[in-house]
Structure 1
Amino acid sequence: MNAATALNGEILPPLSGNVLQRLQRLRRLAWFLDAALRIPGTQFRMGADALIGLLPVGGTLIMTVLSLLFVWEGWRLKAPGSLLARMLTNIALEAVFDLVPVLGNLVDIAFKANLRNVALLEQYFGIVRR
């Protein structure tokens, strides 16, 4: 399979520099939200999502809205509906668990929906991460 073919066999348009820049910007934002800080004494990472998620209900709402930016950008990049649905599922799972005190923060640290969603977009556009 070459870089111009999606996993489902669909032929993709050549990636412009603009698409790559947008995906890189999403990757940086996802890293900030999901993995910017190392938890001392462990190999686990967490980001602003876990910290803001400590705020009851409001934290979940804020982080869910921020996570929806990834879906919106995927839509603007013309990602297929099935991919956008998978991204929405990741966000919904994280948001539901985030409503449960403490457990929600542990799920934020382990699940990392934003990084997963960026990886889905990169995979669709044939970008290989090392």
Structure 2
Amino acid sequence: MSEPARLARARTVAELLDAAVTLPLVGDVGIDGIVGLLPVAGDWLIVLPSTYIVYQGYRLGMPKRTCLWMLLLVLLEAALGSVPLFGDLLDVAWKGNRRNVARIERHVSAD
């Protein structure tokens, strides 16, 4: 798979997870924010597609240390997302998948 295709897939997954729909008064909400409403399990279901973004970064040559940091943020978001109410607000506001794609984009553009 080519570099632009990998980056495009990572972007698509991040947009679905973090900003699939726009709600009045709330703003962009993705699958992460919706599935995260399921107590505990919802947040952990999102770990797999979020990890796919990290994997694409790894395949694009991101340093291992940065990939580990991105993975740590995915796991931290899942753990904190499991906290009632606070976790739901975090899922809507944090947009961690978009942040990870931005890291990948910075790495790719620096090459």
Task: Give TM-score scaled by structure 1 length.
Answer: 0.77
Q: Is the contact made by 2:36 and 2:43 (CA closer than 8 Å) also made in structure 1? A: yes
Match of 1:38 in 2: 22
- Cα distance in 1 between the residues matched to 2:66 and 2:96: 14
Match of 2:107 in 1: 124
Q: What residue is the counterpart of 1:7 in the other structure?
A: none
Structure with greater proportional helix content = 2
Query: Following superposition of structure 1 onto structure 2, how do residues 1-130 of structure 1 map, counting pairs within 5 Å?
Result: 18-42=2-26, 44-126=27-109
Residue identity opposite 1:85 in structure 2? L
Distance 1:102 1:24 in 2: 32
Aligned pair count reads 110
Deviation at 1:104, TM superposition (A): 0.8
What is the RMSD of the two structures over their aligned residues, measured on CA atoms? 1.6
TM-score (ref. length: structure 2): 0.89
Runs of 5+ consecutive residues of structure 2 not aligned to the other structure: none
Question: For structure 1, which runs of at least 5 residues remain unmatched after alignment?
Answer: 1-16
| Kept in 1: contact 2:20–2:31 (CA 8 A) | yes
Which protein shows a greater Rg?
Answer: 1
4+ aligned runs moved over 3 Å, structure 1: none
SS of 1:108 mapped into structure 2: helix
Alpha-carbon deviation of 1:78? 2.2
Residue 47 of structure 1 aligns with an amino acid whose one-letter code is: G
**In structure 2, distance between residues paired with 1:39 and 1:103:** 19
